[in-house]
Structure 1
Amino acid sequence: MSRVLTLLAGLCLVLALLPTGPAAAAPITVPVGAQFTDASGNPLHAHGGGVVKVGSYYYWFGENRNADGTFRYVSAYRSADLRTWEFRNHVLTQSSAAELQVANIERPKVVYNAATGRFVMWMHKENGRDYGEARAAVAVSDTVDGDYTYLRSFRPLGHMSRDITAFVDTDGAGYMISAADENYDLHVYRLSADYTDVASLVRMWDGDHREAPAMFKRDGVYFLLTSGATGWQPNQAKYATATSIGGSWSGWQNAGDALTFGSQPAFVLPVQGGSGTSYLYLGDRWAGAWGGPVNDSRYVWLPIQFPTSTSMSLSYARQLTVDAAAGTITASGSGYDRLAVRHSGKCADVRNGSGANLAPVIQYTCGTGHNQQWRIQSISGGYVQVIARHSGKCLDVDGVSTADGAALQQYGCGSGANQQWSVQDAGGGYVRLVARHSGKCADLPSSSQDNDVQFKQYPCNGGQNQQFTRTPL
């Protein structure tokens, strides 16, 4: 009996020391337009990144930059549920190769080659001073989150190469897609058998001026999601579809609103589970759009809908519920708010629903119009931009004025501090909006009760005409 007990105790010890996978992932909520933190509470830097699933874990790779925007790391994180991310490794660093000591490395994408058993990373490489190199680069590793060996950078078949992604088809063929020739063209390359080189150019869009490619396949249909080339500022995402990568593709079609909800495509992740497969849009809300450093960028994740087998759509949301085990993604809330000034109960409104710059922001009886709905998105330094839903333009103080009585209007979003606001608690469930550049409050002059009175800025004084209810829609 003592020998049996000893054997059982030994068996229990062995079993306890064996590696275990994650428990079945429970449904989690993901905020839209927020920064993420890892399991240790550190900001998660996987900007411009992509995700590969290995076993029960999702591995997220992305840009982790120096304060001046140059390359520091490609960082890797893993999660079983797509919300609780564990930092794993800086898989590529400045010391990985001499040419990386001063460089820009952007949009790293990792794919697995089943034939070689190796993980292959494709990325866009520049010299850290300008964007004249326009090269693709490749690195490899025997483990998904180990140190990657940098192989080289080059211009594929002699073409410039900037924004980049990688895609493995269901037949095992590998592809690299990149913006080419000063971003005017978009190229799809077939990769070599080991995925570390370009074999041929199989499709190109000549002169369409698209970048930020993200390719995925659903029920035999290829989708290629892209953005326009407008620097840090967001624009209208467009996609095309085909049943063969090298064959005929549809024309470009819009996805999301005119600014893709303030984001740019980075990747589309299939989330496969027991109830089916959902497709998750992973976008970056680049901090460069408001003058911040890249590492202050936010993540915009949204579920993709498919009205037909060859069409897709994106709608904004406040948060997502993701059930990775089931493969389901549910959106909650529109992501927009109504702002009603306390003294009158009337709403902040863009006059006549105008889409023009300089259109006045007024108070008006609350209704259902999109010109009374605002996306309040966080940016660097604890500030927000207040963006009109109907136009995609920002709440702005005219002329960057610091004077009392300067008018509030809408204007195309930029990096000006006159479009940056702090949302301050005014007590009683109300808030005030304080302009960053002037320190003054959004104010309804003379506490007027009338429709069509334009908001101005005045010194903050605690008046109810400077207080708003913020109602999520």
Structure 2
Amino acid sequence: MKRAYATLLALCLALFGAFAAAGPAHAAPMTIINGTQFTDTSGGPVHAHGGGVLKVGSFYYWFGENRNADNTFRYVDAYRSTDLKNWEFRNHVLTQSSAFELATANIERPKVMYNAATGKYVMWMHKENGVDYSEARAAVAVSDTVDGNYTWQGSFRPLDQHMSRDITVFVDTDGTGYMVSAARENYDLQIYRLTADYTGIADLVADPWHGGHREAPALFKRNGVYFMLTSAATGWNPNQQQYATATSLAGPWTAMTNVGDSTAYGSQTAYVLPVQGTSGTSYLYLGDRWGNSFGGTVNDSRYVWLPLAFPTSTSLSMSWAPEVTVDTALGTVTGTSATYNTLIARHSGKCADVTSQSLWSGAQIKQYDCNGGNNQKYWFKSIDSGYYQLIVRNSSLCVQANASTVTQEDCNATTTSQQWSLTTSGNYVNVKSRAGGGCLDVNGASTANSAAVITYTCNGGTNQQWTRGS
């Protein structure tokens, strides 16, 4: 009996060890809402701006900027996730107290790579003095663990001569490490080979787009083809992203080609993440919608994540999707297809409009001359038994009925004040609030621009009748 018990106990311990060694279970598919400020598992905002992602085991580690109110450096933060939606805060891996020169500094675009030969995690970043952009230096920090405290190694100009601003890193399939940075006041984009331990610059590999005025590089490799995705240099404001390809990092590289719309859907390139699973590898664009571009700070920024498509082996496309579903187990990334409509008031011929094209919660809905702006476009997202959320294309926020106003707010599918029913009569539709029962109404039947859109007792008035335009 004792021998049988001992055998059973040993078997149980072996099974427990096997399960423990297996790590986290495969993540279920997750849907990520675009153009929003992500939150971590504790409910706080994710501050990983300008960041990059490194996969270690079953976890994706996301590193990025967490800044002070004046936009100077506070932390490089690290988060981890198995499904790319539920992010657990891990550590302030680099702080103002990590080194003397970080006490008053600006750190941008931190990226982490793993060196298999040394067993070290190496962080590269752009370092400035916290006052202006005159330093234009690259900087390095290292750690023995992916989310531990990183030890500052110093800052410098590559090869003691080149300016270095926006950067990214890349480890090729042969284990060689590379760093890409914007140089010469962002007019050049240079590719460097790193030393064997990834902590220094070995040589300049290429300067393919001399004078191109590009920044925010993201470098990845797909089926033997290198893709370089970048933005123009327009400060915090979004612009047309472009890409180029090559079969060797040394070149020749193609000329830059436009991708996405004229503002990258209100974002700037931060990173391109390969999502590898049992069905293959998909590529996910990670972009920042900088808070500074709409009157806030870096820590007010939102995230735009979009699937990349490849019409041919050397071409790239990117389209808007309000939601992205990621299955990290399968390695699939798909965007939700959405139709956006305007809402045109029958009595005035004007459109329901988010005032001043605001991206902020609390901005009022008013009527204004129809102009095709994304602040006049709404996705009627079906959510529950004939009810819809009206999601603004410009801000990714939801139309909400309040006591005396109608505003855009952070979407919450369980909030009845963000749920609307539609009743069609001829060519027109009444839009009715689930919470209060009132109809979407132009206050006082005004025909003037900036007249408030409110909810009011449904009465069949033409100022409560709307056309859903394309």
Which TM class, normalised by the smaller chain length? 0.7 to 0.9
2:274–2:283 Cα contact (<8 Å) kept: yes
* Structure-2 residue corresponding to 1:179: 182
Deviation at 1:333, TM superposition (A): 2.3
Q: C-alpha separation between the residues in 2 aligned to 1:293 and 1:178?
A: 24
Match runs of 1:454-473 below 5 Å: 456-458=449-451
* Structure-1 residue corresponding to 2:52: 50
Please give the secondary structure, in 2, of the residue aligned with 1:216: strand
Aligned with 1:136 (options 138, 142, 145): 138
- The size of the alignment, in residue pairs, is 412
Deviations 1:84-123 (A, max 9, x none): 1111111111111011111111100001111111111100
2:344–2:469 Cα contact (<8 Å) kept: no
Q: C-alpha separation between the residues in 2 aligned to 1:461 and 1:298?
A: 28
1:427–1:113: structure 2 CA closer, same or farther, 3 Å change rule? closer
Q: C-alpha separation between the residues in 2 aligned to 1:256 and 1:303?
A: 11
Q: C-alpha separation between the residues in 1 aligned to 2:189 and 2:465?
A: 46
* Structure-2 residue corresponding to 1:286: 290
Deviation at 1:2, TM superposition (A): 3.5
Deviation at 1:462, TM superposition (A): 5.2
Please give the secondary structure, in 2, of the residue aligned with 1:308: coil
Deviation at 1:216, TM superposition (A): 0.3
Q: C-alpha separation between the residues in 2 aligned to 1:299 and 1:153?
A: 28
1:460–1:466 Cα contact (<8 Å) kept: no
- Verify: 1:151 aligned to 2:131, yes or no: no
Deviations 1:154-194 (A, max 9, x none): 01121111111001111111110011111111111111111
Aligned with 1:379 (options 342, 352, 359): 359
* Structure-1 residue corresponding to 2:303: 299
2:78–2:90 Cα contact (<8 Å) kept: yes
1:465–1:63: structure 2 CA closer, same or farther, 3 Å change rule? farther
Deviation at 1:467, TM superposition (A): 6.2
* Structure-2 residue corresponding to 1:198: 201
Q: Counterpart of 2:66 in structure 1: which amino acid?
A: N
Q: C-alpha separation between the residues in 2 aligned to 1:249 and 1:34?
A: 35
* Structure-2 residue corresponding to 1:71: 73
Q: Counterpart of 1:79 in structure 2: which amino acid?
A: S
Q: Which moved more, 1:155-164 or 1:228-237?
A: 155-164
Aligned with 2:113 (options 89, 111, 114): 111
Superposed CA RMSD in Å reads: 3.5
Please give the secondary structure, in 2, of the residue aligned with 1:307: coil
Q: C-alpha separation between the residues in 2 aligned to 1:101 and 1:302?
A: 35
Uncovered stretches (5+) of structure 1, i.e. residues with no partner: 350-360, 362-373, 396-411, 414-420, 433-440, 449-454
Aligned residues with identical type, % of pairs: 59
Please give the secondary structure, in 2, of the residue aligned with 1:217: strand
1:443–1:456 Cα contact (<8 Å) kept: no
Uncovered stretches (5+) of structure 2, i.e. residues with no partner: 377-393, 396-405, 410-416, 422-430, 434-439
Deviation at 1:341, TM superposition (A): 3.2
Match runs of 1:28-427 below 5 Å: 28-157=30-159, 158-204=161-207, 205-334=209-338, 337-343=340-346, 348=351, 379-383=359-363, 422-423=407-408
Q: C-alpha separation between the residues in 1 aligned to 2:370 and 2:156?
A: 42
1:465–1:190: structure 2 CA closer, same or farther, 3 Å change rule? farther
2:164–2:183 Cα contact (<8 Å) kept: yes
1:94–1:186: structure 2 CA closer, same or farther, 3 Å change rule? same
Q: Which moved more, 1:321-330 or 1:336-345?
A: 336-345
Deviations 1:119-148 (A, max 9, x none): 111000111111111110001111111111
1:431–1:209: structure 2 CA closer, same or farther, 3 Å change rule? farther
2:361–2:408 Cα contact (<8 Å) kept: no
Q: Counterpart of 1:139 in structure 2: which amino acid?
A: A
Deviation at 1:5, TM superposition (A): 2.4
TM-score by length of 1: 0.78
Deviations 1:336-381 (A, max 9, x none): 63121354596739xxxxxxxxxxx9xxxxxxxxxxxx9x998345
TM-score by length of 2: 0.79
Deviations 1:377-436 (A, max 9, x none): 9834544999x99977767xxxxxxxxxxxxxxxx99xxxxxxx933869964499xxxx
2:136–2:165 Cα contact (<8 Å) kept: yes
1:384–1:76: structure 2 CA closer, same or farther, 3 Å change rule? farther
1:107–1:426: structure 2 CA closer, same or farther, 3 Å change rule? closer
1:445–1:465 Cα contact (<8 Å) kept: no
Please give the secondary structure, in 1, of the residue aligned with 2:265: helix
1:461–1:120: structure 2 CA closer, same or farther, 3 Å change rule? closer
Q: Which moved more, 1:377-386 or 1:27-36?
A: 377-386
Please give the secondary structure, in 2, of the residue aligned with 1:52: strand
Please give the secondary structure, in 1, of the residue aligned with 2:5: helix
1:218–1:203: structure 2 CA closer, same or farther, 3 Å change rule? same
1:137–1:279: structure 2 CA closer, same or farther, 3 Å change rule? same
Please give the secondary structure, in 2, of the residue aligned with 1:300: strand
1:377–1:384 Cα contact (<8 Å) kept: no
